[in-house]
């Protein structure tokens, strides 16, 4: 039996000439356009001996084939002997083509100078790209015709950007679901393998179907903005009436769906698409079904043809069900990508596309009833929450939340939220919000997945019983940090702080579906704590016993871009630090677990031999008002003062350097330094400032005992010294500052070593989780949410009572009072 879909694309064998591009034009009563198009190839930058021009004439008559052959002797004109439509004509052309690549160009279009070269270069540069969608502009090159292919859930392709000015917004290449058949390239072998254009489509959407099919089969289609063509739109169809075009669009959309959707998606959307097709076309044709209800079934009725195009299209589908079924089975068996993987290429699947009132109502009802927004959502919505303020001045947690948002927003709709404040900060790909109180309810409602650090579970208690997917970023073992940080609070205060923070962490660990930590050592700590909470069980431990399904290792990262110094931040700016001085930088805050005292003492000794040594503390005041000023910062200043170093060899920035300006400071330094006391916090901490040193290529001198300190010597990126060892520190600083060979070697090694910490690499575990986010198996199967989540709208008395109870448990009356104060001030600020 002849395959109706590929009747004019024979199995071969075909002659293939390496590097040759065969351009195929289909002519149907358009010889004048075709000749203009062919002549335009004289101006195309592509060797003539690598170009094959083929015109398939679809039995236009009137001697059109001869006219074209005469006007353009370099083109081969093939007479099809009948009207095969665009699909059949192209297939016949490819059957005669000898090029390694085939290109389709509408006969009412013309190629730009680099139309071929840009497309071929792209396919040759990346073998996974098997087809190229050209940029298509109107005839004058001013307005967009095609720069991206969008697909509505009911199978209709559309061009969102059509008729917008070509204002430079479409100059970045990207993967697309389909290109327009008006100007499209594909490797000839692939075209033949996948069966070319489906001739059952005749014309319209055969290009959508081909692109969709290629993507299903794992062959990428790439939009290449440098490959440009110019197009007069729909010259051919205007001659035949709108109803014929509508009929073809309606039925071909259904054919595409039947072929390409998975069983599950097809079962959901096809019945809805069939009904919508009827409504869309009856309304387009001005036929109101309600007005005919009294008419006898035996009567004859005159109806607009346009109104029948949906019904007749469905009947065509019925007549082809058997052959479509065969094609579908074959295609679905070979597919290598899921529907969900392709939905992002649909761009906006929930686009009704036709502004017809009755149709729009039905469309909206179906979208709601079938929950299509969720089904076709290109990706789950992710809310990243930080307890740090978001502004130009970012500290560790906020930097991490920021970089997580930047990475996730390349693939997901993302919002970044701070529970403490937002000021003067924006990103083109995601929204940023300050979310206190009720605003936090709204933000968490929006999200499918919530990635958070710190204390979110305490303020957003409704999340505990919700079905949201929760990712707890526990890169900071806060309870260990409290061992040092809370020393200033007195015995009772310290006990309370440690207890409270441990309870906070336990609550997170008990509820989280996935956790992020900063190192494998940290992961062991968390797994122990999870075990005590009953979370280490057969459902959370993967087959490899790695716990990677529960806890991902995501260290702090470095920006993917190299640092740029726009102006000097230290040299020649800070009085007392000259352009040729040796600058040691302390690249962050001064907290109790650090040991800047030993460092100041070492600098004091070095200063006696090296008058040009300068130590610069980059920030004493953390931008988060919740981080208290600490005793050690004051002691450090006192010590430096008593040694007479302040303003001569030791310098303090009493504020904080903006995140975006930190490279201006770091690139002014010769080495980066970090010294701390020896205790358990140190053992599990991950120093973000060390990453800044790596990013800016600084050799590092740091205390051993944490995740970085121990590898400095091993990797040759600096020197590790024992805690509180002034001699060792003095020696290490001197070597890195005054031994040019050692410093150069360390700098070289830093550049090599730093590459693994690019954010794009370290965030891979989170990106993998986000690609298929899910509730933790033990939550889903052992601890199901039995009660529906409390309505997160206006808090009820019961809700308040619950908060009070939790606060009492967490921190006693003081905690309740603290929360009450916060509540009242929030209400006051919001004017409630």
> In angstroms, what CA-CA distances link 189 with 12, 23, 193?
11, 15, 6
Residue 375 CB, nearest approach to other proteins (Å): 12
Part in contact with other proteins (CB under 8 A); list of ranges 125-133, 140-148, 285-293, 812-820: 285-293
| Contact call for residue 539 and other proteins (CB under 8 A) | yes
What residues numbered 31-90 form the site for other proteins, per CB under 8 A? Answer: 83, 85
Nearest distance in Å: CB 31, other proteins: 19
Identity of the residue, 270 or 503, whose beta carbon is nearer to other proteins in the bound complex: 270
Binding map of other proteins across residues 784-813, x = CB under 8 A, - = no contact: x-----------------------------
Q: Which helix (H) or strand (E) holds 319?
A: helix 305-334
Identify whether the C-beta of residue 417 lies closer than 8 Å to the C-beta of residue 384. yes
Q: CB of residue 799 vs other proteins: minimum separation in angstroms?
A: 19
Task: Give how far the C-alpha of residue 815 lies from the chain's centroid of Cα atoms, to the nearest Å.
Answer: 39
271 binds other proteins (CB under 8 A): yes
**Residues 288-307, mask of contacts with other proteins (x by CB under 8 A):** -xx-xxxxxxxxxxxxxxx-
* 541 near other proteins, judged by CB under 8 A: no
| Alpha-carbon torsion (428, 433, 439, 442), positive or negative | positive
Q: Which is nearer to other proteins, 316 or 823 (CB)?
A: 316
**CA nearest to 759, candidates 561, 469, 494:** 561
- Interacting residue with other proteins among 276, 395, 516, 723 (CB under 8 A): 276
At a CB cut-off of 8 Å and minimum separation 6, what does 273 contact? Answer: 153, 154, 155, 253, 254, 257
Residue 241 binds other proteins (CB under 8 A)? yes
CB 73 within 8 A of CB 39: no
Give me the least distance between CB of 257 and other proteins, in Å please. Answer: 11
DSSP per residue over 576-645, as a string?
A: T--TTSEEEEE-S---TTB-HHHHHHHHHHHHHH-TTEEEEE--SS-S-TTS---HHHHHHHHHHHHTT-
The window from 62-70, 136-144, 317-325, 408-416 that contacts other proteins (CB under 8 A) reads 317-325
Q: Is 244 in the site for other proteins (CB under 8 A)?
A: yes
List b or e across 490-516, with b for residues whose CB sees 16 or more CB atoms inside 10 angstroms: eeeebebbbebbebbbbbbbbbbbbbb
Which is it for the CA torsion 568, 574, 575, 576, positive or negative?
Answer: negative
Q: In terms of C-beta density within 10 A (0-12 exposed, 13-18 middle, 19 or more buried), how is residue 62 classed? A: exposed
Q: Which is nearer to other proteins, 137 or 276 (CB)?
A: 276
Per rule CB under 8 A, is residue 369 in the interface with other proteins?
A: yes
> CB under 8 Å to 693, separation ≥6 — which residues?
585, 587, 666, 671, 672, 700, 750
DSSP, residue by residue, 765-804: HHHHHHHS----HHHHHTS---SPPPP-SSPPHHHHHHHH
Phi first, then psi: give them for residue 414, nearest 5 degrees. -130, 145
Minimum CB separation from other proteins for residue 61, in Å?
A: 12
243 touches other proteins (CB under 8 A):
yes
Range in contact with other proteins (rule: CB under 8 A) among 70-78, 151-159, 166-174, 273-281: 273-281
C-alpha distances (whole Å) from 712 to each of 185, 350, 585, 594, 764 are: 52, 53, 17, 18, 24
Using CB under 8 A as the binding rule, whether residue 368 contacts other proteins is answered as yes
d(CA 187, CA 216): 16
Give whichever of 15 and 291 is closer to other proteins, judged by the CB atom.
291
Note whether 240 binds other proteins by CB under 8 A.
yes
Q: How many CA atoms lie within 13 A of 199 on its CB side?
A: 19
Q: Does 203 bind other proteins (CB under 8 A)?
A: yes
Contact region with other proteins (CB under 8 A), list: 7-15, 128-136, 266-274, 734-742: 266-274
Instruction: Give the one residue of 6, 100, 215, 309 binding other proteins; rule: CB under 8 A.
Output: 309
Does residue 318 bind other proteins (CB under 8 A)?
Answer: yes
Q: Between 36 and 275, whose beta carbon lies closer to other proteins? A: 275
Q: CA torsion angle for 799, 804, 805, 811 (degrees, to 10)?
A: 150
Residues in binding contact with other proteins, number by CB under 8 A: 66
The CA-atom distances, in angstroms, between 452 and each of 395, 444, 472 are: 15, 11, 5
Helix H or strand E encompassing 222: strand 220-231
Which residues share a beta bridge with 450? 383, 470
Rounded to a whole number of angstroms, the CA Rg of the chain reads 33
**Candidate ranges 133-141, 244-252, 730-738, 795-803; the one touching other proteins (CB under 8 A):** 244-252
Q: Between 235 and 780, whose beta carbon lies closer to other proteins?
A: 780
Judged by CB under 8 A, which of 311, 541, 643, 726 binds other proteins?
311
Residue appearing with tokens 């900071």: 476
Contact predicate 567/658, CB 8 Å: no
Q: Which is nearer to other proteins, 49 or 62 (CB)?
A: 62
Record the tokens describing residue 744, joined without a space.
């150069």
Considering the complex, state which of residue 370 and residue 643 has its C-beta at the smaller distance from other proteins: 370
Give, in order, the Cα–Cα distances in Å from 311 to each of 248, 251, 252, 254, 630.
12, 9, 13, 12, 76
- Measured from the CB of residue 108, what is the shortest distance to other proteins in angstroms? 17
List 51, 117, 275, 726, residue binding other proteins (CB under 8 A): 275
Q: Identify residues 376-435 at the interface with other proteins (CB under 8 A).
A: none
Enumerate residues 325-344 that contact other proteins by CB under 8 A: 325
Is residue 266 a contact residue for other proteins (CB under 8 A)? yes
Smaller CB separation from other proteins, 359 or 462: 359
Residue range at the interface with other proteins (CB under 8 A); choices 278-286, 506-514, 579-587, 721-729: 278-286
- Which of residues 165 and 325 has its CB atom nearest to other proteins in the complex? 325
Compute the least distance from the CB of residue 240 to other proteins, in Å.
6
Least distance from other proteins to the Cβ atom of residue 584, Å: 55
Per-residue binding string, other proteins, 752-791, x by CB under 8 A, is -------------------------xx-xxx-x-------
- Residue 196 in tokens: 């070319």
State the nearest-atom distance from the C-beta of 64 to other proteins, in Å: 16
In the shown chain, the binding pattern of residues 150 to 189 toward other proteins, with x for contact by CB under 8 A and - for none, equals ----------------------------------------
698 binds other proteins (CB under 8 A): no
If the CB atoms of residues 130 and 279 are measured against other proteins, the closer one turns out to be: 279
Q: Is the Cβ of residue 539 or residue 742 nearer to other proteins in the bound state?
A: 539
Find the angle CA(484)-CA(490)-CA(492) to the nearest 5 degrees: 105
CB 149, min distance to other proteins, A: 24
Q: Which stretch binds other proteins (CB under 8 A): 157-165, 265-273, 453-461, 673-681?
A: 265-273
Number of neighbours of residue 83 by Cβ within 10 angstroms? 16
d(CA 98, CA 80): 18
- Least separation in angstroms between residue 272's CB and other proteins is 8
Instruction: Tokens for 313, please give them.
Output: 């299209």
Nearest CB to other proteins, comparing residues 309 and 508: 309
Q: What are phi and psi for residue 650, nearest 5 degrees?
A: -125, 135
d(CA 271, CA 252): 15
Contacting other proteins (CB under 8 A), which of 46, 139, 158, 316?
Answer: 316
* Binding footprint of other proteins on the chain (CB under 8 A): 83, 85, 202-203, 240-241, 243-244, 247-248, 263, 266-271, 274-276, 278-279, 282, 289-290, 292-306, 308-312, 314-318, 321-322, 325, 362, 365-366, 368-369, 538-539, 777-778, 780-782, 784
């Amino acid at each position: 039996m002849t395959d109706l879909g590929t009747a004019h694309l024979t199995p071969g064998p075909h002659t293939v000439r390496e590097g040759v591009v065969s351009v195929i034009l289909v002519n149907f009563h358009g010889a004048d356009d075709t000749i203009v198009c062919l002549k335009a190839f004289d101006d195309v930058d592509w060797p003539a001996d690598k170009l094959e021009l083929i015109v398939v004439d679809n039995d236009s008559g009137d001697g059109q084939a001869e006219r074209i052959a005469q006007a353009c002797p370099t083109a081969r004109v093939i007479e099809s002997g009948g009207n095969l439509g665009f699909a059949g004509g192209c297939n016949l052309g490819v059957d005669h083509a000898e090029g390694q690549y085939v290109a389709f160009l509408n006969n009412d279009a013309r190629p730009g100078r680099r139309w071929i070269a840009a497309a071929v270069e792209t396919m040759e540069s990346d073998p996974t790209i098997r087809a190229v969608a050209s940029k298509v502009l109107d005839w004058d090159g001013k307005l967009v015709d095609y720069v991206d292919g969008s697909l509505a859930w009911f199978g209709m392709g559309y061009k969102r950007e059509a008729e917008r000015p070509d204002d430079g917004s479409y100059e970045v290449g990207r993967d697309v679901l389909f290109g327009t058949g008006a100007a499209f390239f594909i490797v000839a072998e692939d075209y033949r393998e996948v069966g070319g254009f489906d001739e059952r489509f005749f014309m319209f959407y055969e290009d959508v179907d081909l692109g969709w099919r290629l993507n299903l089969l794992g062959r990428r289609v790439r939009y290449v903005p440098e490959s440009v063509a110019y197009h007069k739109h729909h010259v051919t169809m205007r001659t035949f009436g709108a109803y014929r075009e509508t009929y073809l669009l309606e039925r071909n959309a259904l054919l595409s769906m039947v072929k390409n959707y998975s069983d599950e998606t097809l079962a959901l959307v096809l019945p809805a698409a069939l009904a919508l097709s009827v409504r869309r076309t009856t309304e387009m044709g001005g036929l109101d079904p309600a007005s005919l209800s009294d008419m006898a079934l035996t009567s004859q009725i005159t109806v607009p043809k346009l109104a029948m195009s949906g019904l007749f299209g469905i009947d065509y589908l019925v007549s082809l069900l058997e052959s479509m079924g065969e094609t579908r089975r074959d295609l679905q068996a070979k597919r290598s990508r899921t529907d969900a993987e392709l939905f992002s290429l649909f761009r906006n699947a929930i686009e009704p596309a036709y502004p017809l009132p009755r149709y729009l109502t039905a469309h909206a009802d179906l979208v709601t009833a079938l929950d299509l927004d969720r089904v076709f959502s290109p990706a789950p919505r992710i809310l990243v929450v930080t307890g740090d303020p978001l502004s130009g001045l970012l500290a560790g947690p906020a930097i991490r939340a920021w970089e997580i948002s930047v990475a996730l927003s390349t693939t997901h709709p993302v919002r970044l939220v701070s529970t403490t404040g937002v000021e003067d900060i924006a990103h083109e790909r995601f929204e940023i919000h300050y979310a206190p109180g009720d605003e936090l309810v709204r933000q968490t409602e929006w999200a499918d997945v919530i990635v958070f650090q710190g204390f979110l579970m305490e303020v957003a208690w409704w999340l505990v019983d919700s079905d949201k997917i929760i990712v707890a970023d526990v890169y900071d073992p806060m309870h260990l940090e409290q061992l040092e940080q809370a020393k200033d609070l007195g015995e009772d205060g310290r006990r309370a702080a440690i207890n409270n923070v441990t309870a906070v962490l336990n609550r997170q660990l008990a509820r989280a579906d996935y956790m992020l930590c900063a190192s494998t050592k940290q992961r062991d700590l968390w797994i122990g704590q999870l075990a005590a909470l009953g979370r280490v069980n057969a459902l959370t431990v993967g087959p490899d016993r790695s716990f990677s399904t529960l806890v991902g290792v995501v260290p702090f990262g470095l920006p993917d871009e190299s640092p740029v110094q726009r102006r000097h931040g230290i040299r020649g700016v800070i009085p007392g630090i000259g352009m040729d001085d040796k600058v040691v930088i302390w690249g962050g805050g001064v907290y109790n677990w650090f040991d800047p005292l030993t460092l100041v003492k070492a600098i004091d000794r070095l200063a006696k031999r090296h008058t040009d040594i300068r130590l610069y503390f980059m920030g004493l005041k953390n931008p988060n008002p919740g981080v208290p000023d600490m005793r050690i910062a004051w002691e450090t200043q006192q010590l430096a003062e008593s040694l007479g170093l302040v303003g001569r060899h030791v310098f303090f920035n009493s504020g904080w350097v903006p995140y975006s300006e930190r490279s201006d400071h770091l690139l002014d330094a010769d080495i980066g330094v970090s010294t701390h006391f020896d205790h358990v916090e140190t053992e599990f901490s991950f120093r973000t400032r060390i990453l800044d040193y790596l990013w800016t290529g600084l050799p590092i001198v740091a205390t051993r005992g944490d995740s970085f300190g121990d590898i400095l010597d091993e990797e040759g990126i600096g020197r590790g010294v024992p805690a509180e060892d002034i001699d060792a520190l003095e020696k290490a600083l001197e070597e890195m500052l005054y031994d040019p060979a050692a410093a150069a070697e360390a700098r070289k090694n830093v550049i090599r070593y730093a590459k693994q910490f690019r954010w794009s690499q370290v965030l891979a575990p989170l990106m993998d989780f986000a690609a298929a986010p899910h509730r933790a198996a033990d939550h889903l199967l052992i601890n199901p949410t039995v009660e529906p989540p409390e309505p997160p709208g206006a808090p009820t008395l019961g809700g308040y009572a619950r908060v009070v109870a939790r606060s009492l448990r967490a921190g006693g009356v003081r905690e309740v009072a603290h929360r009450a104060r916060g509540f009242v001030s929030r209400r006051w600020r919001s004017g409630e």
